[in-house]
Structure 1
Amino acid sequence: MNAASPETRRPVLLVTGLSGAGKASILRTLEDLGFETVDNPPLQILPELVADGSAPLAIGVDARSRGFDAAELLRAVARLRESPGIAANLIFATAEEPVLLRRFSETRRRHPLAPGGQLGSRVTEGIAREAALLAPLREAADLVVDTSEMPLPELRRQIERRFRPENATGLAIGIVSFGFPKGLPREADMVWDVRFLRNPHYDPVLRPMTGRDALIADFVEADPTYAPFWDRMTGLIELLLPRYAAEGKKYLTVAIGCTGGRHRSVLVAERLASHLAYSGWRVDLIHRDMPSPPAPGGASAGREALAHSS
């Protein structure tokens, strides 16, 4: 009997991660995509949950789960990955310790592994204990989502782009602009460094603008290396995309970085997203580090939304 093709295998996602990092938000997004979701079931019933049904399934598992054991969960993931009818993925949500501390402080929630109380060193100790307990899962994860500086809409877009139902045909392309000081986007499949282009930051008139402004576009595109770089970059990407699609790849993230993540990388990302969309590709564009106007309800609205999730 032939193994099931990637298109016919049943998606089964195990969602785990640090408390306060966004696990519940990921599960809600998957539920909106049509996944059956179960949060924190006893580990011993995982085989029953997977065997009972045929719809896409998302299971939340963390240190609060009854009978939690990281090694046993990894063995369960390995068994799922070996199943010919299952497309299994392990998702790990994380965030930096100061961000988690702020979220627990804002919501006055108690950390599940804190020895007592909810403030100061006790929460820090709980975060450290949980991070150590879940470290093997993070290492084995198919996708690590760092929500430290990620507003809730961006988290939803990233999950939707990667795990949207199979009937949404074709290769989904994510274009992400970013600044190198904050690190590479973890989800990147392809990274382009555009720090060699002329930098508008050193012009006091241009500095407050972003790569979406016409003056920034004129400035950067006047760099004599811009045009040959653009031709070679788009030529290579256009060569590779059909091959990725032919291999059954469902998503591809192209990251474009510069020093600050607001001028050169934003411009190139905008141009590339428009270019690929005009060519008929399904494209999602995110500017990770470009400043944006405060969200309704205050600048911390996005963080607070994530703070309510675990």
Structure 2
Amino acid sequence: MININGELFKPENAQIPFDNRGFQYGDALFETIRVINSKIIFWESHYFRLMSSMRLLRMQIPLQFSPEFLEEEILNLIKSNHLDNQPAKVKINISRKTGGLYYPENRDIDYFISCDSIENPFFTLDDDFYEIELFRDHFINSGLLSTLKTNNKLVNILGSIYAKENGYDNCLLLNEKKSVVEFTNANIFLAKGNTIKTPPTSDGCLKGVIREKLIDVIEKTEKFELKEESISPFELQKADEMFLTNAIIGIKPISKYRKKEYENTVAKELLGKLNVQARLV
């Protein structure tokens, strides 16, 4: 079942008009959420990021869009898909209502919520071999809009295609200043000794929920020093570890970048702390 503006439809009957502004102009955003046994993981952070993004895009937030309302919408959908007692991935799509060209006729929104099952109830460390490369054909623009989960993800899509065509598992994206910003589907962290580094959002990286939570975990762990600083491509092969983070995977260690092979000791330690913060253990 799929939720369209509060009404449940079977997937074959769930239709969005061809003049939907998300389709026509990319006038839309989305939020991807992990739900375990009917518990929405880091719901408050996801909710406030969604509201903040809608405000920045000058969308009219419906009066009923309280945390309680959207939580109930999500959990009802989970239950209708018989996923209330298992792990699930939920995606909320928001688009401005049909009407207008570049200038919208109104600021009101439509919302669509879908869900799928996932395998693990906990964030687990997948240490399968994972090789990455830089994607240099196109760049992420540094600035506020790039930090949002909007439908404008062509650079991420082309980077994913490049990775697949060249036998890599993922690609790192650069901004116009040639600084490393993020992976095609996740934030990046580098570890060198006890120093852990991640790009600042001013470089254009996604303002990821797991990024936010992991920064909090690192800052509360005395043995580590966190730096939110721009990352040069030249630093990648000097790091001891590199790992990606997103709301579904949690933490994924990188095995190899060019001639450099990485450890995963820090990633393992942080993953345990992340599970504790998410109250999954």
Q: TM-score, normalised by structure 1?
A: 0.29
Larger proportion of helix: 1
Larger proportion of strand: 2
Q: TM-score, normalised by structure 2?
A: 0.32
Structure with greater Cα Rg:
1
